[in-house]
Structure 1
Amino acid sequence: MRVVAAMSGGVDSAVAAARMLDAGHEVVGVHLALAQSASTLRESARGCCTIEDAGDARRVADRLGIPFYVWDMAQRFREDVVEDFEREYAAGRTPNPCLRCNEKIKFAALLDKALALGFDAVATGHYAQVEEHDDADAPGGVRRELHRAVDDAKDQSYVLGVLDADQLARSFFPLGDTTKPQIREEARERGFSVAKKPDSHDICFIADGDTRGYLAKRLGERPGPIVDPDGEVLGEHGGAHGYTVGQRRGLGLKVPPADGSKRYVVSTDTRTNTVVVGPEELLGVDLLEGEHLRWCGTPPAAGTEMELGAQIRAHGREYPARVSMREDAGEGIPAGVTVRLAERVRGVAPGQSVVLYDGTRVVGSATITGTGRAAC
């Protein structure tokens, strides 16, 4: 099988490429240039797409003896990930750019280009597993399922929850059965210079980790009130888009609470440019509404209900949930989902993603459009 190995310049993608080669595939290494003006050296563990990263990926490819190319996808990344991120915050939502990157770049733009050039599949260094099962109704008689990795601490099935069945059929994740320490040891044994290279962290295009500062530069300052649930003004902010539900630090409130309790952002409204803060008990929600559905297999029928697990953050807990597939306009495929969590969860904001699991299997995902509390 002819496989494109996406090589970021890190240790995970290096070992993934090596394992695909060991498995007998014809492998070509590809580094995605996602920054329109890549820096020479990474500024921190958060950065990516530097000239250093491309060089590290090339050295691994040379050691493996495989062809290596750099594909420029900076414009596509800017439009589909960075600008989407800015639009979502401007609208008062809290997006996850890693999911959007996987959906739009690594398993859409990259995979589409690979297929157009005659390749059969793409391999990445994500920590997840693919299981194959005989199924007469599936293409080629084999059904592929996406499952959690064996290393709970590194499991990345959450950010892969946007893959559909066709993309999953052409994707390989060779690291899912291995822990991170084992991957680093394997890289050392293979003589890869990246064996001790630190992991990068999202958000990759905000190298210093200052999301509010980044948004202020892109969206501008727009002073407005910070109020309590009764509307009393407690302080001022520089733009509601710079705040997210559950945030406690950096509020700069001028009026302390009478009982000395901590205050958190409980909602934002970019239309009125208002940030509402309140006590911790106001943060808990157990009802989620979701749209922009992505199914890692056959979509469930509209109108059905399922007992599934729901995960709301990349490395967060999985919560038992009852998931209802909202009726569509007659297509038979759900137009949205309602997720009723078994317990209340703090700090859930519109724009985040909920990924649904059946055991270790990823069923699909949805973008959260609203939250609330189910009637007792």
Structure 2
Amino acid sequence: MHQVKLAENIYYLGYNDRRTHLFENIWPIPHGVSYNSYLIVDEKVALIDTVERQYIDDYLEDIDAILAGRKVDYLVINHMEPDHSGALRAIVAKYPDIILVGNKKTFGFVESFYMKPVNILEVNDNDVLELGKNKLQFQMIPMVHWPETMISYEETNKILFAGDAFGSFGTLDGGVFDDEINLDFYEEEIMRYFTNIVGKYCPHTQRAIKKLAPLDIRMIAATHGPIWRTNLDWVLSRYNKWSTYTTENGVVVVYGSMYGNTQKMAEVIARQLSERGIKDIRVYDASKTHASYIINDIFKYKAFIVGSCAYNNAMFPNVETLLTKIEHMGIKDHYLGVFGNFSWNGGGVKNLMKFAEAVKWELVYDPVEEKGALKKDKYEQCIELANAMADKLLG
């Protein structure tokens, strides 16, 4: 196997997962995902995180090939999620004297998932672990995106081992560094990784960005996706934009429709938005498109218009599932429009308004609700809803 180095004695140990369909058993990963670990070989040897358990055999073999009989002295645990700690038990079994490096919250997770840790080194902000020429400085960045999350900053080569921060969906198809790949392909996967995995914790992400700003970072090595060594601002600027809910002037229209009447309302609204000059319009059937992609576009665009038919006196189930995820994400500062349809009793729009109250986004127009087929008066109200949204976006 090729040995990939970040610096003279710092190795990349990464594995591409092209088999898993759902990341965290929730989010689609049609382009797969990588699991990245790192090995520093100095007077002391340190592993930075491990990998998902299906790669344990390859992982141990690759470590052996590099170390040629030397042992691993430290396992630095930046993040305890099992896709990064999956080989922890195997590493401890192979190197029984290894010292686990983490913060106070780390070791509770180690015990919960694997075993009671024996040899530990508890670190806090600004603590430094000297390996020889290489020195690891630690900073806590809790809730990006677990409570124990921290980063390790290698002071000699100025490498930020960032855990899940600045990560990405998508396998590394040959290229490992940002200057070896086409970033146009990865942009959507990087954003979707952020919005799906980290997006709930935008305030914590902002705190982390500010906390790490004083560090002289020359390379970012995350636990998923490419290693950033050339155009760090590409990923840093995007994380800053997304975590401040900075959006573009577009509209996401989502509907749930059984027999097509709610869909017709969505089509009218979308067409009128276009006639008003809005170019970025995304229309989704909640029964077809996974929430992963819809949430990603909600982070991208300022306006959200949602419609639901009534279903057993409630919202259409797939719309309800989506809105529960959106509410849970805590996304801020959007414009909102609401519409819907019913046949014999309401429930769709009534419950959409409960969502509106919960998210506290600005409602641009009264909810539009039709009974049965779309008729002239409600058609005109759909036009007015679209106009009200366009007015907001166009200022």
- TM-score, normalised with respect to structure 2: 0.27
- Compare relative contact order (CA 8 Å, sep 6+) and give the higher one, 1 or 2: 1
- TM-score, normalised with respect to structure 1: 0.28
> Larger Rg: 1 or 2?
2
